[in-house]
Amino acid sequence: MSAVTDTAPAATPAARFGQSVRDSLVVAQRNLIRMTRIPEMVIFGLIQPIMFVVLFSYVFGGSLQVGGTTDPSVYREFLMAGIFAQTVTFATAGAGAGIADDMHKGLIDRFRSLPMARGAVLTGRTLADLVQTALTLFVLAMVALLVGWRTHTSIGEVLGAFGLLLLFGYAFTWVGALIGLSVRTPEAATSGGLIWLFPVTFVSTAFVDSGKMTPWLGHVADWNPFSATVQACRRLFGNPGGSPSDAWPMQHPVWASLIYSVVIILIFRTLAVRKYRSAAA
Amino acid sequence: MPGAIYAEGLVKTFGDVRALDGVDLDVPEGTVLGLLGPNGAGKTTAVRCLTTLLRPDSGRAVVAGLDVVRQPNEVRRSIGLSGQFAAVDEYLTGRENLHMVGRLYQMRGKAAKARAAELLDQFHLTDAADRPTKTYSGGMRRRLDLAAALVVHPPVMFMDEPTTGLDPRNRQQLWEVIKDLVSGGTTLLLTTQYLEEADHLAHDIAVVDRGQVIARGTSDQLKARTGGERVEVVVHDRERMATAAEVLAGFGKGTTTVQEHTRRLTIPVTGGAKLLAEVIRELDARGIEIDDIGLRRPTLDDVFLSLTGHRAEAEENGNGNGNGDENRGRSGDGGGDQSPEAGAGRGRAKEVSE
């Protein structure tokens, strides 16, 4: 009977919030331990964006025109914000696959039978993914420096750009969480988490100017949350930004990126937590 | 006063399948109820409703005095769940798994650590405590899973098919652990496909079929309804069968069934192992050579057959998830008591597919 008396119920909102944070950190720790036990996952997660940097820099570098020049070094600086942003969104697939795997193996049932905060399993997972994303971004930035990428602003602005990228990536892990809860297998979550990312990341200003697209596609690209984050990073890094259109998110990319990220988190966190509550393996 | 686990008219439907069709249960504090039934009977759904994992469509359930629908979080503090669908993290060590579960039961870090060490010791997992559970054998993993359910000494426990897929030695070990637990006053609801398991562990048995409890009572009461145990003998020489039948008639109650082509004789008996020994001595004294002899206890199949008129497997096949292997396993050699072992193949196959 000690169970009943030892664990005081979380009564006040403050106590509930405290429990929520504690439980999330316990789950985050669990997921981080897993990552250290499956290092190949982290390594593959690093190789892919590095490949993108090298491929885009050297294959497309000389042939794409940015800001009126085809100078490869200009394109390299233009490109890097796009690669960074694409990399953080790919964390979606990891979060989705991880949660689908937990569902599949019955771990979600174990968690749901415990007196823990409801959103903690998902929050813990997304926090662990955030740590991995930060690590990936760091390695990627080093590689980018090696191939000639430079920033031309204050350290504060550069860190601000990385902050925006992490927030944006974090928002996308909540999309991944919802996908992971909605599919039957981890494999489906991986492909389901990636497929839609290709149009999202390519119909954007990440790799080419939106002005060079068909007008309607250009509009989509201008209002794409992904473009806003990419453009915000270019501005904060002091990298060439192509010729952004007059669309509001392109003119105020930092604000636009912040707003988009927060809205995505609010919507997808709500949906994912609701789905988690009724989830059945 | 309702028991530690109490359910009244529980209904849960998935699409047009009525997984639970008005289930009533009452488990007095400190006792064990065995929920016995084939795959697809609704056992797991019942456990999921009682452990707050599923919300019943209608009906009422009270666990440890708490309403599972209105006070789910309070219920979760008072229960432990183990079995086929609750799991451990395969990349974490045994110790890390138990520590995590303790923390999520809202124990402080130090207390959770101490409790994890205690449980690892109790379940003979100390040597493997710091290895990822991926490297554990099936039996070790079940023990860890059970340990995880016991982290806070919950007054009410649920075990969903705790020994499905385990070999006989590991099953025996787990039974001992469960018996210890119950002798400490824990109320337990366990589901099983094996009459022998329910027989071993449960005070009361509720037989479930198509989402309804179709019979309840003690193991003896159920067996009485299904005709009790039988002695089966396979005689080596066909010519000696008549003599063997004579011997059996002296010990059994009722008529001897003779299968000429398999040289098999079956007769209902009472008296168990002691009687079996006497039969063997008598056959030996008459110089009858036997290939096989065994005491056959009623299986879930027999219970089902007598209660419902259909075999347990028919239900599974009707649900589209039965498979040939299982039928083969169940009807096996027919020799001796083979019920839990028969299911082992299926259980393993399931684990692999997971």
ipTM field? 0.86
For A:8-27, CB contacts with B below 8 A are: 8-10, 19, 22-23, 26-27
Task: Output the pLDDT for position B40.
Answer: 83
Q: A194-210 pLDDT, tens per residue?
A: 888 888 888 888 888 88
In the numeric block, the tokens 């049932």 are attached to: A109
Helix (H) or strand (E) holding B181: helix B168-183
Q: A148-179 pLDDT, tens per residue?
A: 889 999 999 999 999 999 999 999 999 999 99
Q: Which residue of A has its CA nearest to B86?
A: A110
At CB < 8 A and 24+ separation, what contacts does A209-212 make? A209/A66, A209/A242, A209/A243, A210/A244, A210/A245, A210/A250, A211/A242, A211/A243, A211/A245
* Predicted confidence (pLDDT) at residue A8 exceeds the cutoff of 50: no
Residues A24, A120 contacting (CB under 8 angstroms): yes
Comparing CB atoms, the residue among B85, B91, B92 nearest residue A281 is: B85
pLDDT band at A281 (very low <50, low <70, confident <90, very high): very low
Please give the Cα distance from A133 to A128 (Å, whole number). Answer: 9
- Return per-residue pLDDT of chain B as tens, 354 residues: 568 999 999 999 998 888 999 999 999 999 999 998 888 889 999 999 999 999 999 999 999 999 999 999 899 999 999 977 658 999 999 999 999 999 999 999 999 999 999 999 999 999 999 999 999 988 899 899 999 999 998 999 999 988 887 888 888 888 988 888 888 889 999 998 887 888 889 999 999 988 999 889 888 787 777 667 888 899 988 888 888 888 888 888 777 888 888 898 888 888 778 888 888 999 889 888 889 998 887 766 677 777 776 666 543 333 333 333 333 333 333 333 333 333 333 333 333 332
How close does chain A come to B140, measured CA to CA in Å?
17
Residue B90 half-sphere exposure toward CB, CA atoms < 13 A: 13
Q: Which two tokens stand for residue B292?
A: 């096989």
Answer yes or no: do A7 and B100 touch at CB < 8 A.
no
Cβ-based contacts of B96 with chain A (< 8 Å): 30, 33
Give the distance from CA B206 to its chain's centroid: 12
Please give the Cα distance from B68 to A244 (Å, whole number). Answer: 57
First to last CA, chain A: 30
Q: How many residues does chain A have?
A: 281
Mean pLDDT of chain A: 87
Please give the Cα distance from A266 to A56 (Å, whole number). Answer: 34
Q: What are the distances in angstroms from CA A21 to CA A6, A47, A119?
A: 20, 32, 10
Q: Is B170 on the interface with A (CB under 8 A)?
A: no
Q: A120-147 pLDDT, tens per residue?
A: 999 999 999 999 999 999 999 999 998 8
Strands B264-269 and B257-259: antiparallel
Mean pLDDT of A31-51: 88
Interface probe, candidates A25, A26, A99, A113, chain B, greatest B C-beta count within 10 A = A113
Cβ-based contacts of A19 with chain B (< 8 Å): 106
Answer yes or no: do B77 and A7 touch at CB < 8 A.
yes
Q: Which residue of A has its CA nearest to B65?
A: A4
Helix (H) or strand (E) holding B175: helix B168-183
**Which parts of B170-276 are beta strand (E)?**
187-192, 204-209, 212-217, 229-235, 257-259, 264-269
* Predicted confidence (pLDDT) at residue A3 exceeds the cutoff of 70: no
Ramachandran region, residue B211 (left: φ > 0; alpha: ψ -120 to 50; beta: rest): left
Task: Output the pLDDT for position A258.
Answer: 97
Please give the Cα distance from A271 to A153 (Å, whole number). Answer: 39
Please give the Cα distance from B196 to A12 (Å, whole number). Answer: 49
Q: Is A114 on the interface with B (CB under 8 A)?
A: yes
Q: A236-256 pLDDT, tens per residue?
A: 999 888 777 888 999 999 999
Task: Output the pLDDT for position A199.
Answer: 87
Comparing CB atoms, the residue among A8, A38, A109 nearest residue B85 is: A109
Query: Which residues lie across from B212 on neighbouring strands?
Result: B209
> Which three-class secondary structure string do you get for chain A?
CHHHHHCCCCCCHHHHHHHHHHHHHHHHHHHHHHHHHCHHHHHHHHHHHHHHHHHHHHHHCCCCCECCECCHHHHHHHHHHHHHHHHHHCHHHHHHHHHHHHHHHCHHHHHHCCCCCCCHHHHHHHHHHHHHHHHHHHHHHHHHHHCCCCCCCCHHHHHHHHHHHHHHHHHHHHHHHHHHHHCCCHHHHHHHHHCCHHHHHHCCCCCCCHHHCCHHHHHHHHHCHHHHHHHHHHHHHCCCCCCCCCCHHHHCHHHHHHHHHHHHHHHHHHHHHHHHHHCCC
Please give the Cα distance from B43 to B117 (Å, whole number). Answer: 33
Please give the Cα distance from A13 to A21 (Å, whole number). Answer: 12
Q: Which residue of B has its CA nearest to A35?
A: B91
In the three-class reduction of DSSP (H, G, I as helix; E, B as strand; rest coil), residue B48 is classed as: helix
Q: Is B146 on the interface with A (CB under 8 A)?
A: no
Task: Output the pLDDT for position A207.
Answer: 83
Answer yes or no: do B354 and A33 touch at CB < 8 A.
no
Answer yes or no: do A113 and B53 touch at CB < 8 A.
yes
- Report, in angstroms and rounded to the nearest whole number, the Rg of chain A calculated over CA atoms: 20
Answer yes or no: do A6 and B103 touch at CB < 8 A.
no
Answer yes or no: do B52 and A113 touch at CB < 8 A.
yes
